[in-house]
Amino acid sequence: MSRDFPTLKLSTPQEHVLQVTLSRPEVANAMNTQMGLDLMHCFEDIALDPKDVRAIVVTGAGDKAFCAGGDLKERKGMTDEQWGRQHVIFERMVRAIMACPTPVIAAVNGAAYAGGCEIALCCDFIYAADHARFALTEVTLGIMPGAGATQNLTRAVGERRAKEIILSGKPFSVNEAAEWGVVNRVFSGTELLGEALKMAGTIARNAPISVRQAKQAISRGANMSVWDGLAFEIEAYNRMVPTEDRREGINSFNEKRPPVFKGR
C-alpha cells in the first residue's frame, strides 16, 4: 500500500494500527478532488492487501476541524460535466471506506460539516472531541447529501431525526450527536486521539479474521431480515473454524497466556 498521498498523512502509532489524517489544515481539511482520490486509493489498497493493518483511525489535522466538507472554492465555476466527474470520485471514495474489511474509527477532532460529516458516518463508529460540531448543510447550497448521509445517518438515528437534520441543514452539537446515536463516545480534545488509538489497539489485538467476519456480519445483516442475517452470520462463523487463530485462541486460554494471532 502506498503511503504517499498529497492530502493525507499516514502513520503507524502502534503495531497493526494505521492512522489516516486528513491534511489540508489551511482550508479546515476541506475535501477537494485530490483528497477524494487519495481516500479512495488508500482504502481500496487496504481492501486489496491490508498487510499488517488490523484497525484504522481517521482524523483531521489540527484541533479545529475534522473536515469542513467539499472544497467550494475548487467547485466554483465547474461545469456540470466537471461536477459529475468529481462526484464519481467521491462515490467511489464512500464505497471504499464503507466496504473496507478492516475496522475504521472516526476520531472527529472538530467541525465535521457536509462531506466531512459524511466521511465520519462512513466509518464503523465515531469518537468525538467535546468541541466538535456536525452539520449536513447541502440543501442550503442547492444540492443534497451525496456521499452516503441519507443512508448512513438514517441507519444511525432513524428516519424522522435524519429528515430533521438533513432537510433543515442546521448544525448540531456533539452532545446531541451522542444522544442521537451518531457518536459513540465524547472526550476532551486532548484525550480524543489517544482514546481512539487505544480502542483501535484493543481491536487490533483480537483475531483479525474474526474481527473482519464479525464486521461483515453486522454490516450486511443490518440490511437483511433476521433469518437471512442469521444464515449469513453462520456462514461468516464457519469461515473461522479451520483457522490457526481459532486453535490459538483456545490453546492460549487453556495455557493461561495471551494469544498470538496471525490472521491465518
Q: Which residue has the cell 489540527?
A: 62
Catalytic hit among 118, 179, 195, 244: 118
Closest Cα to residue 249, out of 209, 215, 213?
Answer: 209
179 is annotated as an active-site residue? no
Catalytic hit among 138, 164, 233, 244: 138
Q: 202, exposed or middle or buried, with CB in 10 Å at 0-12, 13-18, 19+?
A: exposed
Q: From CA 70, how far away is CA 31, in angstroms rounded?
A: 5
Asked if 8 contacts 23 with a C-beta cutoff of 8 angstroms, the reply is: yes
Asked if 39 contacts 18 with a C-beta cutoff of 8 angstroms, the reply is: no
Q: From CA 15, how far away is CA 204, in angstroms rounded?
A: 8
Dihedral of the alpha carbons of 10, 152, 92, 9, in degrees to the nearest 10 = -10
What are the E-state strand segments in 145-211? Answer: 172-173, 185-187
248 is annotated as an active-site residue? no
C-alpha cell at 95: 464505497
Question: Active-site positions?
Answer: 118, 138
